[in-house]
Amino acid sequence: MMTQDEMDMDKAISTLASAYTIAKAQIDSASIKRSLKDSLSQYFSTFMVNNSSELASPAPVITTSTTTSAGATNGPIFLSNGVLRAHVIKAECSLFMAILQLSRENVVDYLKCGLNLRRAHKSYTIVWQEYKRMGQEHTKRMDRDTVSGVQFGIGAINLLISALPPKILKIFSSFGFTSDKELGLVLLKLCLEGKGIRSPLAAIMLLSYYSILSSLVPQLYSKELSGPAVECLLEAQKSYPSSCFFLYFAAKIARIAGNLPLSLQSFSFAMDASRSEMMEVAMRNVTLYETGWNHALQLDWESAAKCFEDLAKDKYSPAFCMYVVGACREMLGQRTQGILAFAEVPQHMKKEQKHQQQEPHQQSYSSSSSYIESYVYKKIEHFQKSGYQDMDFNLPMFELLCIWNIFEQMDHGALEHCLERVNLALNRIHERERRELSIRTQELAPSASPPDYYHYRALILLIKASVLNALQRYGDSIPHLNWIMDNKDDLTSDAAAWIIPFAYWEAGVTSWGLHNFVKSRKLWQQGLACSKYDFEYRMAIRFNLALAKCNDIGIAPTEKSTTEKILGMHAQKRAMSVQHPTTS
């Protein structure tokens, strides 16, 4: 789940599906025959339940008793603790499969995610209803770890759904989900404080939530969530001080706070803590990946390249990692080495395609790594089209930092250096344009085409606006973003399609920094309406989190334009036309 490796994820889903089958078999074999009255009562109580605050405390015992032939009255009939525990295990398997499928970021897996979330919610609801019926007797009939499991599950489902954007929710809206973020947070905190078997899972879920929000939208959430994240981490480390998981999250939180030396140290500790453990290789790869980005944030391109070279050798998304190696070499001025690294990217992609053809039993997914590799492949094609002659106009590592939205975590000196490199690239574009235009002043109908550097200029201006926003020089970014918006009709190629929604994002950040919150909301809504570009679902989540922040502070949504309404209707029709696949 943490590594995002396709083979690991396939194995995890297969294992979870097997555990689900075993738990279901245990439930089926232990099922009891209820009277018609009890069955109807159970059905309607389950049907009527909703995710409200009433989940926080058990209800009194419902006296659905039976009378024997001797006239004696028995108490209410409850499911056994073993069956309830099996329901929790069954629900957890569905929940974890849903999380894995959600991370793959494609329509088919979103549908599977929705189906698995529904299965998980159904099983958790059965256990919660029994818990409520038991009332004060639940301590005699249900172990605390089962109660902890329900708290974790219902809390996780509510928190997960609350963070999803409308573009994803529309895909499985027919499953009837509603969510309550506050309820999810409360239940997960109760689970954490209960010190049950699911306590570390609750801590990981909370820390994932805090770190993802703070990483995706640092401009809006990093300060607000830093306190709760540190409190949760300290609480978890009281029980598990040497856990590689919590050391990993400590490193993530330190980076969000801008403390890169502490982050590097914590990632190193996390790697050391996993040695000789079952997940040593997986943890080494994921910490090495994050360490590489930390070096990039310090502009230490040599160390960053070394990290990603090691990852490529370990076959950890080798195509993307070799692209990053090439980008680092380009930033170092080592163009020949960079081109050689770029040349390996298509080779790794072909190897992956060949492997998939040789393993037909393994399902091929358009995963979170696939859209990244799609972006990388388009970049390599673009470089090769010009014979790598236009590399002076490209800043590939700055481009990735802009896409990942992590300029916010750089220190002031590094950002100023980035600004110098960006201005140098803009000057080179201007000089090339001037040279090509001068030909047209001297020669009639020249064979050379007019200069067309809209893509390069828009990309460099987007990076510049992102750096200026990170420096909190919001007013300075306005003319650069306006240029991109004014020339968006010239940015229609596949390689440039993603620039416009990212420009809407940065424009919203600029307006937010200037305290024009209504304008920010309008710009983010326009960005959310964009479609069919690389990183679309990642950006949809980012836009949704920003709009949720607007809701929290009372910034009302602006009226949708006719075009936005039509786009929304078409998106809904496309989602409804997709057939529901199997759930595992």
| Upper half-sphere CA count for residue 475 (Cβ side, 13 Å) | 0
In a domain, 297, yes or no: no
Encode 305-354 in three state secondary structure.
Answer: HHHHHHHHHCCCCHHHHHHHHHHHHHHCCCHHHHHHHHHHHHHHHHHHHH
Measured CA to CA, the distance from residue 47 to residue 145 in angstroms comes to: 25
Packing angle of the helix pair 474-486, 454-470 (nearest 10 deg): 160
pLDDT at 243: 93
The vertex-233 CA angle with 231 and 235, nearest 5°, equals 70
**Maximum Cα–Cα distance across the chain:** 114
> Residue 414 is encoded by which pair of tokens?
């590094």
Residue 294 confidence (pLDDT): 98
Instruction: Using the structure block, give the residue that is written with the tokens 């689970």.
Output: 191
Q: Specify the pLDDT at position 443.
A: 79
Please report whether residue 70 resides in a domain: no
Task: Tell me, yes or no, whether 150 and 245 share the same domain.
Answer: no
Number of separate domains in the chain: 3
Q: Which of residues 187, 216, 242 is at a domain's end?
A: 187
Please tell me the chain's helix, strand, coil percentages from 3-state DSSP, rounded to the nearest 5.
75, 0, 25
Query: Would you say 280 and 292 are in contact if contact means Cβ atoms under 8 Å apart?
Result: no
Return the exposure string of 285-312: e unless at least 16 CB atoms fall within 10 Å of the residue's CB, then b.
Answer: bbbbbbbbbbbbbbbbbeebbbbbbbbb
pLDDT in tens, the chain (584 residues): 666 667 788 888 999 999 999 999 999 887 655 555 555 555 555 445 444 434 433 333 343 444 444 444 455 778 888 899 999 999 999 999 999 988 877 778 888 888 899 899 999 999 988 888 887 777 788 888 999 999 999 999 999 888 877 767 776 555 566 778 899 999 999 999 999 899 999 999 999 999 999 999 999 999 999 999 999 999 999 999 999 999 999 999 999 999 999 999 999 999 999 988 888 888 999 999 999 999 999 999 999 999 999 999 998 889 999 999 999 999 999 999 999 999 999 998 888 777 666 654 444 434 445 678 889 999 999 999 989 989 999 999 999 999 999 999 999 999 999 999 999 999 999 999 898 888 878 878 777 777 788 999 999 999 999 999 999 999 999 999 999 999 998 888 887 889 999 999 999 999 999 999 999 999 999 999 998 898 888 899 999 999 999 999 999 886 655 544 555 555 455 444 444 434 44
User: Please, where are the H alpha helices in 217-259?
Assistant: 218-239, 244-256
Of 200, 202, 201, 229, the closest CA to residue 214 belongs to 229
> Do 149 and 218 sit in the same domain of this protein?
no
pLDDT of 566 reads 53
Specify whether 461 is located in the same domain as 532.
yes
Match 């929940």 to its residue by tokens: 95
Residues 140 and 231 in one domain: no
* Range of the structural domain that residue 36 is part of: 1-59+76-187
Q: What is the pLDDT of residue 450?
A: 76
Domain finish residue from 134, 155, 187: 187
The DSSP-derived string for 77-128 is: ----HHHHHHHHHHHHHHHHHHHHHHTT-SHHHHHHHHHHHHHHHHHHHHHH
C-alpha 416/C-alpha 422 separation (Å) is 10
pLDDT of residue 58: 37
Flag whether 65 is in a domain: no
Question: Does 404 fall in a domain?
Answer: no
Q: Residue 192 domain-assigned? A: no
Structure tokens at 265: 């140290």
Torsion angle defined by CA atoms of residues 240, 243, 245 and 251, in that order, rounded to the nearest 10 degrees: 100
The verdict on 156 and 213 lying in the same domain is no
What's the CATH number where 472 sits? 1.25.40
Judge if 43 and 140 occupy the same domain. Answer: yes
pLDDT for res 521 = 97
In sequence order, what are the residues at sequence separation of 6 or more whose Cβ sits closer than 8 angstroms to the Cβ of residue 52? 180, 183
Regarding whether 19 and 147 lie in a shared domain, the answer is yes
Of 134, 154, 187, the residue that ends a domain is 187
Position 424 scores a pLDDT of 97
110 and 171 assigned to the same domain: yes
- Does 169 share its domain with 258? no
Report yes or no on 444 lying in a domain.
Answer: no
Q: State residue 496's pLDDT score.
A: 85
**130 plus 152 within the same structural domain:** yes
Same domain assignment for residues 179 and 206: no
Helical packing angle, 218-239 and 244-256, nearest 10°:
150
- Residue 310 maps to a domain: no
CA dihedral defined by 575, 51, 190, 96, rounded to 10 degrees? Answer: -30
For CA atoms 122, 128, 133, 137, the dihedral sign is positive
Residue 379 resides in a domain? no
Query: Do 213 and 263 fall within a single domain?
Result: yes
The reported pLDDT for the residue numbered 446 is 79
Please say whether the beta carbons of 465 and 506 come within 8 A. Answer: yes
